Amino acid sequence: MEGKSPRLLTFNEIRNNPAIITYIRKANEYLGVLGYTEHGFRHTELVAVTARRILMELGYSAREAELAAIAGYLHDIGNIVERTHHYFIGALMAMNILKELGMEEKEIAEVAAAIGNHDERYGHPVNNISAAVILADKADVHRSRVRNRDFATFDIHDRVNYAAEESELELDPVNRVITLKLKIDTRISRVMEYFEIFLSRMMLCRRAADFLRARFALVINETQLL
């Protein structure tokens, strides 16, 4: 029996797929049990939309931007199995899902590479899509992601995320500068604590911006630090 003909899947098809919705919901639920911050639909939607915006505003093709949105939406799906290797598991899951939905192999490879390379410990920007997903994912630092409501039991990750009152990824296409702007309540967490847990993420963001022929900047409380 002949397989499905390759077709151009859209972000809307992915975000409305019942199986994908279930996997993201359950993955976020399991991470909650383990004490991690929110990795559900708020996060996946934001990463998808931001990744697409990055490529569109920097002048890349509309199709690459759409694939970045798809990869961004699926990037944490591997958490349904386990946390430590979720980037690797998620890439394999996405390959199977996207093949079943009829996406062509070349696009599956690009999306899988982006998902498999978004982790700050082992990831590398290997294509434009992966670079956009890295930047969009690591920019999502915000108090709305903190699930723990007992301030007395906050660990450093809870404190840093809860202290982040505002988070915005600003693009300057003309000068090709990608700036992460944060407003941190230093009564809750010192800026140094942000670097203590997120320095590797910022270095990966710098490499991702370099891949897109752009410069990464970090501004915290109106002071440029990178």
User: Is residue 103 helix, strand or coil?
Assistant: strand
User: Are the C-beta atoms of residues 94 and 113 closer than 8 Å to each other?
Assistant: no
CATH number at residue 166: 1.10.3210.10
The whole-angstrom distance between residue 120's C-alpha and the CA centroid of its chain comes to 11
**Tens-place pLDDT, residues 26-54:** 999 999 999 888 999 999 999 999 999 99
Q: Can you give the pTM of this predicted structure?
A: 0.93
User: Are the C-beta atoms of residues 133 and 167 closer than 8 Å to each other?
Assistant: no
Q: Which domain holds residue 90?
A: 11-224
Q: Provide the 10 A C-beta neighbour count for residue 193.
A: 17
HEC profile of 144-171:
HHCCCCCHHHCCHHHHHHHHEEEEEEEE
Rounded distance between C-alpha atoms, residue 24 and residue 32, angstroms: 12
Contacts of 59 (CB under 8 A, 6+ apart): 173
User: Are the C-beta atoms of residues 115 and 105 closer than 8 Å to each other?
Assistant: no
Q: Please report whether residue 1 resides in a domain.
A: no
Q: Please report whether residue 220 resides in a domain.
A: yes
User: Is residue 104 helix, strand or coil?
Assistant: coil
**Tens-place pLDDT, residues 203-222:** 999 999 999 999 999 999 99
Strands of 215-220's sheet in order across: 164-172, 177-184, 215-220, 223-224
Q: Please report whether residue 2 resides in a domain.
A: no
Q: Please report whether residue 139 resides in a domain.
A: yes
Q: pLDDT tens for the chain, 226 residues: list them.
A: 345 567 799 999 999 999 999 999 999 999 999 988 899 999 999 999 999 999 999 999 999 999 999 999 999 999 999 999 999 999 999 999 999 999 999 999 999 999 999 998 899 999 999 999 999 999 999 888 888 888 888 888 888 889 999 999 999 999 999 999 999 999 999 999 998 888 999 999 999 999 999 999 999 999 988 7
Q: Please report whether residue 142 resides in a domain.
A: yes
Q: How many domains does the chain have?
A: 1
Q: Please report whether residue 4 resides in a domain.
A: no
Q: Please report whether residue 6 resides in a domain.
A: no
